Structure 1
Amino acid sequence: MRLMPRSLFGRLAALAALATIAALAFAALAIGAVLERFVMQGLDQRLDAQVALLATAVGPDGTVDRSRIVSPAPFDRAGSGWGWRIDAPAGTLASADLPQIEQPPLVDLRGHRHRRHEEGEPQPLDWRDAKGGARHARSLTVPTSAGPVRIAASAPREIVERPLRAAMTPLLGSLALLGLALGAATLVQLRLGLRPLATLRESLARVRTGQAEAVPADQPAELKPLADELNALLAENAAALANARGHVANLAHGLKTPLAALALRLDEQGRDPDGAMAAEVARIDRSIRHHLGRARADASGGTRRRTPLEPAIDGVAGALARIHADRAIAFTRSVPPGLALAIDPQDLDELLGNLLDNAWRWAASRIALTAEPDATGRARITIEDDGPGIPTEDRAEALRPGRRLDERGDGHGFGLSIVRELAELHGGTLALEAAPGSGLRAIVALPMAAPGPL
């Protein structure tokens, strides 16, 4: 069984609770001992005073002058429990409320011998009477020519215990309230003290979602080294990502040109009669695209940029409108302001470029783009055109790399497959449907970025 909680808050709270309980228990015991000492000191003073009065009645020869015996209150009240006793060689004199006292040294109720007292100083005695009641006495032995005379004054120990109980009850209540106050203060202290950790976690979450590029350096002294190490790690990851993207781009450009030239040579008459070599080139191209996408995903280290959607659409659509300026295509868009996606800007441009380029190639007169968030935390981007569309039975085939359903045009059949790979790479999906009336509707669902500054 695990004794300590796993959380820092739980561990600190448990240790603080144990320390508070131990401190309050020690305070209760210490205060109780001090109170008992003062109350017992007052009782001993009263008993010593009675012993001193009785000692004046003892003569040098051991006789007791009864006329000089004084019993002030409460020794003079029968049944009060207060009493005195004089054991002299000639006999014993005692009040009615003092039972027989054994000769010292006596063992007290806790089983320890009383400390040794100076000669002529009264000694404490503790015992239980016949009824089991605890009693406390002070005894003095006076030497005489006839022999020692023992004088004792006694009182019920309840005289001490009653005020102690009366004092300890509110004291324990006050200590309990103090413990609750200390517990509440400890919880507040822990909440405030551990808040920078929660703030640091939120800062890391903003970095992961693309809302920030680094953890704020303004941290408490204990967390500043950690923040500096995290920022150094983020900087190294960013540099590694940029380096990997550079290698990916160089590799893509280095391989695409020879493959494109090889594909053009194979298209010449008689160079590839059965199309086997062209199929191998297409397979190599698909493999390159696949592994480049995987390398790009691995280099990102799980972090994604926060890319606003509206500027990306305007940039891609503006470029395509100039490229297809010879076609009178009306383009409309409807995008909520501030909508941002958790995707790399280059990937978003390539994804939108392929979809909108296909739409511009096949649209008869119009293209409509709409974007809206859904309940799953994704943005649903819909692109519709009024072209011939794709039959239901051919849509799955159109998503395969290198597959062209119509040999007209200068495309190579990779546009829709690239869009699907990019969408899936970033945790999204691509679906093809029939647009109302005629044409094609392409629906891309991509994860939205968390709200925050761009």
Structure 2
Amino acid sequence: PRTRVDQAVGAFRSTLQWWLGGAALLLLLLQTAMLVWILKPLRQVATELQAVEAGRQKQLEGNYPRELRPLTENLNGLLRSSRARLRRYRNGLADLAHSLKTPLAVLRSSAETLPDEHRTTVSEQIRRMSDTVDYHLQRAATSGRSPLSVPVQVRPEVARIVASLQKVYHDRSLEIDIAVEPDTVFIGEPGDLIQILGNLGDNACKWARHRVQIEARNVTEADKRQRLVLAIDDDGPGIPDELRETVTDRGVRADSRTPGQGIGLAVVREMVVEVYGGRLEISRSDGGGTRIEVHV
């Protein structure tokens, strides 16, 4: 009888273990399913935020549970507020630029009527005021990269800048080549990209003898972040080695005989290095001129 009892107890224990194991597995599956179902709205929020960041939509549009609505409504309010604040800021800068430029233009015209002994001094001070206004307006207009920056297609912006440069320097018959890889993007504000391209392109065309080349591509650097590598080459006289460290300082020009304000490269350096945390490198181009490469 004892053997039968032991066998019965052993069979019961074995059956109990199977049932308890099955119940535990079932509870684990149920718990996993519940977690997946409960976290689904949060995954949807993350997906929509990625779509906002990529520029595919302007705000969160999903139908969320009551518990998450305060979060999604606050996020949408933050997005609207940020865009409105940036728009007001840029409009204010445009108004400031207009209000300052007009009086300076009047002063510049009036200075031409002054006697020779005063005209040079007054014109020089007006030019310095105008240069300072240009420099600080360009600095202030820099927006920088934000988590919600929309990727900007680089090739159309390069094409627009090149078209403008060809009009400005049409009497020079410069050859401006574009070598931009397909789908190259800039993660930042379009205005910042235009300022970088415009300043570097204008500087290259100013010094080039016959040819300017603009290259752009995306790379993934050691910090795992995708950056834009933009390089502009010219076949001009080049920047002397002793000036490469200082030519990006405000007011410094490689040749004072060439017209310019000496602020273009300074603005680009501050924008690339200080605002975007990138780097700017100056070297000798294959054509004997200057190659300026920025990683931003």
**TM-score normalised by the shorter chain: which range applies?**
0.7 to 0.9
- What's the offset of the Cα at 1:413? 1.2
RMSD: 3.5
Question: What is the alpha-carbon distance in structure 2 between the residues aligned to residue 185 and residue 176 of structure 1?
Answer: 14
Greater Rg by CA: 1
Note the 1:153-164 alignment, pairs <5 A.
none
Which of 47, 58, 66 in structure 2 is aligned with 1:202? 47
- Against the structure 1 CA distance between its residues 210 and 186, is the aligned structure 2 distance closer, same or farther, given a 3 Å change threshold? same
Partner of 1:432: 282
- 1:399 aligned onto 2:248: yes
Opposite residue 197 of structure 2, the aligned amino acid is L
- In structure 2, the gaps of 5 or more residues are none
Q: Answer yes or no: is 1:318 the counterpart of 2:163.
A: yes
Q: Distance in 1 between matches of 2:109 and 2:240?
A: 30
1:385 and 2:234 correspond: yes
Please point out which of 269, 272, 288 is paired with 1:420: 269
Change (3 A) 1:283 1:337: closer
TM-score (norm 2): 0.81
Deviates more, 1:192-201 or 1:313-322: 192-201
Which amino acid in structure 2 is aligned with residue 441 of structure 1? Answer: R
Write out aligned runs for 1:282-361 (5 A): 284-285=132-133, 288-289=136-137, 292-293=140-141, 296-297=143-144, 303-361=148-206
After superposition, residues 164-183 of structure 1 pair within 5 angstroms as 166-167=11-12, 169-183=14-28
Asked if 1 retains the 8 angstrom alpha-carbon contact of 2:246 and 2:252, the reply is: yes
Query: Greater CA deviation, 237-246 or 261-270?
Result: 261-270
* Number of aligned residues: 288
CA positional deviation for 1:342: 1.0
TM-score (norm 1): 0.55
Which residue type is aligned with residue 173 of structure 1? W
Q: How many percent of aligned residue pairs carry the same amino acid?
A: 30
Cα 1:303/1:266, change in 2 over 3 Å: farther
The alpha carbon displacement at 1:408 in A equals 2.8
Change (3 A) 1:167 1:397: closer
Identify the match of residue 216 of structure 1 among 61, 64, 81.
Answer: 61
Contact 1:431-1:444 within 8 A present in 2 as well: yes
- When residues 322 and 284 of structure 1 are mapped into structure 2, their CA distance, relative to the original with a 3 A threshold, is closer
The residue type paired with residue 292 of structure 1 is A
Counting helix residues as a fraction of each chain, which structure ranks higher?
2
| Residue among 275, 291, 294 paired with 1:441 | 291
Aligned to 1:244: 89
For residue 207 of structure 1, what is the amino acid of its counterpart? V
Q: Distance in 2 between matches of 1:406 and 1:428?
A: 27
Distance in 2 (alpha carbons) for counterparts of 1:168 and 1:302: 58
Q: Using the alignment, how far apart are the partners of 2:110 and 2:260 within structure 1? A: 16
In structure 1, give the amino acid aligned to 2:153.
P
Q: Is the 8 A contact 1:237 1:301 kept in 2?
A: no
